[in-house]
Structure 1
């Protein structure tokens, strides 16, 4: 059994990081949270542009993502900061996160008497929370406790030929060890959804996958726009990808050969063990943020063109099959799988290297995105602002 190092949370879940999360409920609280974060070593913040002027499903999605980020097992404690008049219910957010048993405190800018007082209070509270979690023991944990998100972005021809299928070999190893693989990007399985649907464990799962595609295509038609030019993106096209179908065929190989156990909504909790698909945008940061809110502890991100983005609470491992991009962006790329294209390595060997990197990162080794401080976070928006 493959073991990693992690933190066992009060609800029994396992984190591979021990973050103190500073969570603004609304865009109006971002600056206060940023100032608290600057004065609190060991903390991470998730500033965002949402939290007010939202109703219905859009409001619920923002709430779900914020709660999910707080519940992620990589988070040891949470400080919630609200303004006091937004549509987000800060008290409810605090209480739902607290269901995990981790320490959660809520402060409000209007109640505290403005930004300066709230920053002062927030620094004091954040320091207390950090002291509570800084001495938590690291335990030996079976890899079966891990959910891995698989994502691609800035793709080129090497993505489908090399890095994505190599990651697919890794996905098979993760599932063989009892873990979970979560793939997203509804927009990037179009044209290959029938292949993915054939892997579904039953007709209900395959129909749910087709329904996710249908919803997206209806929305594009309602808007009266052509998806081409946005997906494949100009960078994808310059990298040699001629169509969305060609891109999708490479994209789906990241998940390996395991049966598709289920399809779930953006930022909903990971349903179980094995391979699952999350209905989500293809946008890199929105997709990874949704995976983090769903509870994945680590993301493997393939890229041919190269991208530096990370996540505030989830380590993101960057993998490239493009030798030139891997060398040019060496400070961003963790794994270079181009030896496969040069005949110096098999896909299985590259997959084993990625697997070992996951084990190392899950045991505390920092990814390059973490070292460089890449903490990008974005919530996918559904509707208009009021």
Structure 2
């Protein structure tokens, strides 16, 4: 089959050809936003991290920003720095540049926001012009890197859309591609099932450890995962316990072996099925998938959620016909409940896989057409200081 993509100097393949305008700290968001708003062909990455954090969180933010800048859908990167941020802006610039893509930086504190804006506009324009010379080429399916997410779950999620997305993952993996999932908060009560699919005991231990650590963080904050998950929307959609939600959530990863577990913000290396330790909330988790190197994201939803991502196309799949009819501007595909029974599951997965290939070759998703998804999140663990 194959798809049309953009070759990158590091050997990866993009399915979009943006210049990323990446703020290195929340204080520089406005300038990054202004630049991206005015220059066609750019995509912003805005967040609230990068300063006023403890060192472990600054390291998470730094590695995430590096990995975001290395995403294959970016042909070049313009960093917008404040100048006194806690993250290492020079390291971010250096490590993104190591992939062979052009990287430039403007610093707001050098001469103010107006000067940084004007300088950034000219740089972004030049980077977009350079990127426009990269032509699409045909690549086989082994170059696909698909992210998988579920959100706004109801009873149809675990019965229809999640299994269908899982079948799609199996097809992608059987064709030599890569799939990445996470949402550690939604492994609770089902982690032993995932651990059985690990390729080794050490990988199984990692799965148990990330769940245990997530629960410890919740308890240390005076909370209990069982009290905050399922969400009010999940409960309204018919889900009753976190274990029930988890059993429906993990099937979106399909049935193939799990190769390894990565930390939040790390770029996945190799081919196969991988986990990224991450929260379930959309802005932070979509960032984790982009940082991991995904080109396309499959997002299963029951109640319907609108989020996209600035430079990674997000395909919304639902098994709820009411949601599909109510939210035609957000939902890309409907999976009929009867279609995923028995042998129909693989055929449904194949249909979604064809949509992935079409989007990878340039078809726009509903979120892309709306421009919904310009404001992202970046997950950190500790307090703001």
* Fold in common (TM above 0.5): yes
SS at match of 1:228: helix
Aligned to 2:135: 137
Match of 2:325 among 308, 324, 327: 327
Given the alignment, which residue of 335, 338, 351 partners 1:337?
335
Work out whether residues 318 and 335 of structure 1, in 8 Å CA contact, stay in contact via their aligned partners in 2. yes
Distance 1:218 1:178 in 2: 37
Structure 1 segment 257-268 matched on structure 2, within 5 A: 257-268=255-266
1:218 equivalent in alignment to 2:216: yes
| Preserved CA contact (<8 Å) 1:21 1:44 | yes
Determine whether 1:46 maps to 2:26.
no
Alpha-carbon distance in 2 for matches of 1:206, 1:175 = 20
Name 2:85's counterpart in structure 1: 86
1: CA distance, partners of 2:248 / 2:103: 42
Q: Distance in 2 between matches of 1:231 and 1:341?
A: 29
Deviations 1:190-244 (A, max 9, x none): 1111111111111111011000011011112222212234210000000000111
Check if 1:17 corresponds to 2:13. no
- Corresponding residue number in structure 2 for 1:305: 303
> TM-score when scaled to structure 1?
0.97
**240, 247, 250: which is aligned to 1:249?**
247
Q: 1: distance between equivalents of 2:11 and 2:127? A: 20
Alpha-carbon deviation of 1:263? 1.1
Shift of 1:368: 0.6
Aligned partners of 2:163 and 2:340 also within 8 Å: no
Segments of structure 2 that go 5 or more residues without pairing to the other structure are: none
Using the TM superposition, give the Cα deviation of residue 345 of structure 1 relative to its aligned residue in structure 2, in angstroms: 9.1
Contact 1:91–1:106 at 8 Å: present in 2 too? no
C-alpha displacement at 1:343, in angstroms? 7.5
Q: Do the aligned residues in 1 keep the contact of 2:339 with 2:345 (CA within 8 Å)?
A: no
1:140-219 equivalences in 2 (<5 Å): 140-219=138-217
RMSD: 1.4
Judge conservation of contact 2:317–2:335 (CA < 8 Å) in 1.
Answer: yes
Tell me the number of residue pairs that the alignment of Structure 1 and Structure 2 aligns.
384
> What does residue 291 of structure 1 align with?
289
Query: Offset of 1:182 from its aligned partner?
Result: 0.6
Q: How far apart in 1 are the matches of 2:292 and 2:177?
A: 15
Say if 2:331 and 2:366, in contact at 8 Å, map to a contact too: yes
User: Unaligned 5+ residue runs, structure 1?
Assistant: none
Is 2:178–2:271's contact at 8 Å kept on the other side of the alignment? Answer: yes
